[in-house]
Amino acid sequence: MSNVKDFLWKENMSVKDLVEGMGHIGYQSVEVNNASNLIVKMKKDSAKIFLTFTSNMVTSGLRGFFAQLIRLGMANIIVTTVGAIEEDIMKSIGEKFLIGKFDDDDVELHEKGINRVGNLLICNESYMNFEDWIKPVLEKIYKKRKRWAISDLLKEIGLFLQDENSILYQAAKKNVPIFCPAITDGSLGFHLYLFQEKHKEFVVDPVKDFGNILLSTSFDEKKGVIALGGSISKHHAILCTLLNGGADYALYVTTAHKTSGSMSGATTDEAKSWGKIKDNSDVATVIGDTTIIFPLIMVKALEQLNEEHLLIKED
């Protein structure tokens, strides 16, 4: 046990100093510091790091941060939902998302062709421009090969993007696989369906990709999971760790509650009951908004790793 200490501002305070100070305040502040220390442990232990996030986080300004983490070698495997893929592409081709309000008039927004994600706004025109971009890309991919595992398809799409802040582009460059098991659950899935109707021999194979994620790690490797939010992206990663002996490290950031019985609210303790996380694993859970929590957690870890010369320098 440690003592509660008063938090004091210091001139030229770094994020590392800030989060370390938060570690003595109490409540969730303690967990923020614990989570940051856990990421450092993962990296020092050469754990294979699964970074999982839902599409709403790519809607936000965290998208470029995720791409930067790939460049810095802080994520070895990505698991996400299809909205993240679409919106990463949209931003890469110049689409701009707006900051609105949580209580905007949604009927009025619909009449204007604007879609709301929390307090963020996406115009229908952005989806139209995405459609115009993805159609010729799929034609080129089809000419190269007829059958694709999802992660291979996403790597190929990433190679068409020339945006340093793109998750797909950086993952393709760094050979970091992106797994998206529910690829049909969005606009991209609809366009894949239309393309397959035109080209019957074109197949996007999710079962093949399940084998790919299982073979992306092994029973003997140290494994860490950073799960931002829940849903299928979180579960697909910890299912992989279950089938490979369980995760050695796990960090959850969520606003969901365990009483729902949902994957989003499921705790690291619940995961241990399944063997998804090892009994003796090092874990942390922070309850809060990822757009606030994750930059604090990760930047403090990056500063510490950089001080100890354990961080890959950016290109």
- C-alpha 163/C-alpha 165 separation (Å) is 5
- C-alpha 1/C-alpha 193 separation (Å) is 56
Q: Is 276 a residue of the active site? A: yes
Q: Are 55 and 87 in contact (CB under 8 A)?
A: yes
Helix axes 150-158, 206-214, angle to 10 degrees: 90
- C-alpha 26/C-alpha 35 separation (Å) is 14
Catalytic one of 43, 272, 276, 278? 276
CA separation (Å) from 140 to 146, 222, 289?
11, 38, 39
- C-alpha 299/C-alpha 301 separation (Å) is 5
Q: What is the DSSP string of 9-42?
A: --TT--HHHHHHHHTTT-THHHHHHHHHHHHHHH
Q: How many DSSP H helices and E strands does the chain contain? A: 14, 11
- C-alpha 49/C-alpha 119 separation (Å) is 30
Q: What is the DSSP string of 135-162?
A: HHHHHHHHHH-SEEEHHHHHHHHHTT--
Q: Residue 267 corresponds to which amino acid?
A: T
275 Rama sector, left if φ>0, alpha if ψ -120 to 50, beta otherwise: left
Which helix or strand (DSSP H or E) is residue 241 part of?
A: helix 231-242
Q: What is the DSSP string of 181-197?
A: TTTTSSHHHHHHHHHHH
Query: Which residues are known catalytic residues?
Result: 276
